Chain A
Amino acid sequence: MAKRFRKIVQAGWGILTNAYVRGFLPGGPAIYEGVLKHFCVPGMNCYSCPGAVFACPIGALQAAFSGKHRKFPFYVLGYLTAVGVLAGRFICGWLCLFGLIQELLYKIPTPKIHLPKTPDRPLRKLKYLVLLVLVVGLPLFYRNRLGVGDPFFCKYLCPVGTLEGGIPLVLLNEALRPSLSWLFGWKMAVLVLCIAASIFIYRPFCKYICPLGAFYSLFQRISIVRMRVDQAACIGCGTCEKVCPMSVSPVKNPNSAECIRCTECVKACPAHALSFGIGGEGLKLKNNKGIQGK
């Protein structure tokens, strides 16, 4: 039930934040244009999705950086920092629709790929490069003749926009179809690659590409909602490391930059040595293995 609970939260959040049904109906407005679009969701969610009722934080950040008048984005950056300090990558594990989609794809019964450390570790740094170059650097410094930058990440890499915005909008609005170009083809290729990889690798976009996950990961060690390990209670069985879908060692580093706080380790720990909550205190789930902590 606890495992299903996270899926229910993820799905519920996805529905709640994409609840503008009129966007999906023929003849209605293509996207929601109401007051809630002043606010960002904490996870990746394209604001051009016909159902989206909030703004995408990465899109909003790039829009601020690429604007004609370069301005420090106090509002969006303050919001993302506050979310990061409060919850870190808990957002990735619980409040990201694209994360849920990848998890569901991974459930397709096929042989799974667990990359060895050598390509895995350097590849995980790629998301920081994406954040620095595509979300901040290029939109800020690469300008067209009118002095306006491009949202490079959204435009060339983000598969979320293609899946949640591009495909439904093109299907629902005939007027948009003549605008299809090589760019849409490229973005479709990125999306197909991401979907295919998700069948074999657990959340590959989150592990290697997502700039939002990269940003939140900076706050993992100081976030208020956090993981905690009771070293005295730990029996060193290694179960937590074995069950971790993100290949983290919760005992060695309970607040690793890669942990999405899915709490699989908390549930699996036979000694109840791991906990999750405010300051690390809170959730200590029972399991069937029956060994009690101190």
Chain B
Amino acid sequence: MKKEVKPLLSLVILAAAVGMCIFGAVNGEMREVFMKAARICMECIGLG
């Protein structure tokens, strides 16, 4: 039986992840995701 992990660790990582997400969004990374996702990705579909 594997040892249970304390929930505090999960919450700390969750908070850090949310922080990263916000930091990235503020720095324009959402726009970069949009630029890629709103055009047909030729490589993704096997044409590029």
Contact present for B36 and A59 (CB under 8 Å): yes
- Asked if B14 and A155 sit within 8 Å, CB to CB, the answer is no
Does any Cβ of B come within 8 Å of A188's Cβ? yes
A186 on interface, CB distance cutoff 8 Å = yes
Complex Cα distance, B44 from A52, in Å, reads 14
Residue of A47, A56, A75, A255 touching B2 (CB-CB under 8 A): A255
- Separation of A78 and B18 alpha carbons in the complex (Å): 6
Interface range, A side: 35 or more
Kindly provide the distance from the CB of A230 to the nearest chain B CB, expressed in whole angstroms.
11
4 tightest A-B contacts by CB?
A75-B24, A78-B20, A74-B24, A78-B21
- The reply to whether B34 and A184 form a contact with Cβ atoms under 8 Å apart is no
Chain A residues in the interface with B (C-beta under 8 A): 30-35, 37-40, 46-48, 52, 54-56, 59-60, 63-64, 67, 71, 73-79, 81-82, 85-86, 150-151, 154-155, 158, 161-162, 165-166, 169-170, 176, 179-181, 183-184, 186-188, 219, 221-224, 229, 231, 251-255, 279
Most buried by B among A74, A161, A252: A74
| With contact pairs A31-B40, A73-B24 given, residues A161 and B45 touching in the complex (Cβ less than 8 Å) | yes
By a CB distance below 8 angstroms, the chain A residues around B25 are 75
Q: Which of B9-33 contact A (CB under 8 A)?
A: 9-11, 13-14, 16-25, 27, 29-33
